[in-house]
A and B are shown apart, each in its own frame.
Chain A
Amino acid sequence: MANIISDETIEYVGILAKLELSDAEKEQAKADMGRMLDYIDKLGELDTDGVEPMSHVFSVENVFREDVVTNGDDRERLLSNAPQEKDGMFVVPPTF
């Protein structure tokens, strides 16, 4: 395997991905990601010098519209999906 994923890398990716993995899951993730990156390295066979990266197939430009409110007041219905709400607001744990 050409790509060895270190413990530090998997920790770092876990932070970026906002995922908490058990030790067993971390080992699995290291192996999976290493194998996948080995496979993706195949793209290196292609010479892409001077090729423009294509994010969208059709040239997408900014699409503008007037800033007009079209939806109604959905607060109650939106909050009814929240795991926890109080006085018309989402409740979250302490942030510090």
Chain B
Amino acid sequence: MDILDMTALQLSAAIKKGVTTAVEATEQMLSRIDAQDQTYNCYVTVDAEGALAQAKAVQKRIEAGELTGPLAGVPVAIKDNLCTEGLRTTCSSKILHNFVPTYTAEAVKNLQRAGAVILGKTNMDEFAMGSTTETSAYGVTRNPHNTEHVPGGSSGGSAAAVAANECFYAIGSDTGGSIRQPASYCGVVGMKPTYGTVSRYGLIAYGSSLDQIGPLTKDVADCAAVLEVLTSHDEKDSTSIARKDTDFTAALKDDVKGLRIGIPNDYLGKGLDGEVREAVLRAADVLKEIGAVVEHFDLSLAEYAIPAYYTIAAAEASSNLERFDGVKYGYRTEEYAGLHNMYKKSRSEGFGEEVKRRIMLGSFVLSSGYYDAYYLKALKVKALIKKAFDDAFSKYDVILGPAAPTTAPKLGESLADPIQMYLGDIYTIAVNLAGLPGICLPCGTDSKGLPIGLQLIGDCFQEKKLIRAAYGYESVRGDSNA
């Protein structure tokens, strides 16, 4: 077997057996990136020298018996909104074009402790604002299944890198679907954990109450293993939760008997592509055949999630992005008259269109006179949405539906109409509002050969049920569907 085709767990096992080494895997991966990333543009920054140095050090520690974990020695790609000490971190924005962090995000540190080799930083929508990776200041990323199509976003570079075999696994972040939707478009596995599971320390904030870091992997077993490593309680993130029962790989059991699965009728309605609908319902049938109890139900409020989300996310973004002012780091305009003019010009030249649109909207909904009508209203709707999920999870273990209404759109078709683009987030966004875990995995392809994703949503802290359902489905799905 070509080592580049291995999953992360397979590679680490092969390294331990002495079949290959972390250095060899890293070298081969770097030549693969070198050969094909001009086409896909998954990476903003490739750290060839650093990766080789890490691989050598990690290999030594594996041989010395110091690193024994299931991901030791495996090269990983990191989304470019996670700070990496000494390695440029741009958020795919011009305003951070030269920013070199002085510390590493806690989630990335957890990977390093487990023996990961960081290959580089992946492309994304600027500040994670977008659904296609087309708002990046460093060029679009192309979908490896068809280069005329987008990889999805905002973690498009990470998803595409996994699909194109330009890494063994990748890390993304998900504020409104930014891991699950690109996973769906690129035909890989992606998971957003329960809010508070993975430390956000060192993640450049977009919507702090919604942001979570999670894995993008080749299969469900890798996903569980990576999530297990990412999870930790961190004092440096005040929303971090001390979780118990985080041995997620223990849930990799081919057994879905008795699992109660609900399909929201709201997730199968207007706007859903026929082929996506068919593939998702076929997956539900498969789960039924292997013992799950599958029912349809009304979730309600689905159509209110998007307006609530864009109000809250824009409000938080406008506040979080105030720090980019041309003083401490990043881009500063050439000519200015006084301090405030410098701030304004640096920000206006440094931010792209979509980022400015959301900062403006966020500033408006937080301004006096509008705060109650918009921001507070959205927070109340968020409470109603959470309650609708609570009711659903009193009846079901897992909610099943599509991750996106269509397969990957063509490049250049999405940005002209922002609201139309936002509507594409309809199946993923409520999960963030309610803080729930969600996983997306491949469940077929459409007539154009583009991947279709199946989304499974769990109640808070119920990742194991998701992993069980996903693993059970994956085990019987068959290659023809993958």
Contact = CB atoms under 8 A, between A and B. Distances in A.
A9 B361 CA distance: 11
B296 interface: no
A42 to B, nearest CB: 5
Q: Give the one of A57, A74, A80 with max B CB within 10 A.
A: A57
Interface string A9-43: 11011101111110001000100110111011111
B364 A18 contact: no
B101 to A, nearest CB: 8
Contacts of A17: 318, 356, 359-360, 362-363
A40 to B, nearest CB: 4
A54 B210 CA distance: 12
Given A29-B360, A33-B364, A92-B342, A21 B329 contact: no
A46 B381 contact: yes
Interface stretch (B159-167, B319-327, B391-399): B319-327
Contacts of B380: 48, 51-54
A2 to B, nearest CB: 13
Contact of B304 (A13, A33, A46, A56): A46
Interface stretch (B27-35, B38-46, B58-66, B306-314): B306-314
Nearest to B303: A42
Contacts of A82: 327-329
A94 interface: yes
B357 interface: yes
A44 B311 CA distance: 13
A19 B359 contact: yes
B1 interface: no
Interface in B148-198: 195-196
Contacts of A77: 102
Interface in B288-343: 301, 303-304, 306-308, 310-311, 318, 322, 325-332, 336-343
Interface stretch (B10-18, B118-126, B371-379): B371-379
B468 interface: no
A56 B163 CA distance: 34
Given A33-B360, A46-B384, A83-B327, A56 B239 contact: yes
B209 interface: yes
B238 interface: yes
Contacts of B344: 18-20
A53 B307 CA distance: 15
Q: Give the one of B318, B325, B360, B378 with max A CB within 10 A.
A: B360
A55 B307 CA distance: 16
Interface of B: 98-100, 102-103, 195-196, 209, 235, 238-239, 241, 301, 303-304, 306-308, 310-311, 318, 322, 325-332, 336-345, 347-348, 351, 356-357, 359-367, 374, 376-384, 386, 418-419, 434-435, 460
Nearest 9 Cβ contacts at the A-B interface: A57-B435, A53-B379, A83-B332, A81-B329, A54-B383, A48-B380, A20-B344, A16-B363, A17-B363
Interface of A: 9-10, 12-14, 16-21, 25, 29, 32-33, 35-37, 39-46, 48, 51-58, 60, 63, 65, 71, 74, 77-78, 80-84, 90, 92-95
Given A18-B343, A78-B328, A95-B338, 13 more contacts: A13-B367, A19-B347, A36-B310, A37-B374, A40-B307, A48-B380, A54-B379, A54-B386, A57-B434, A58-B460, A77-B102, A80-B100, A81-B330
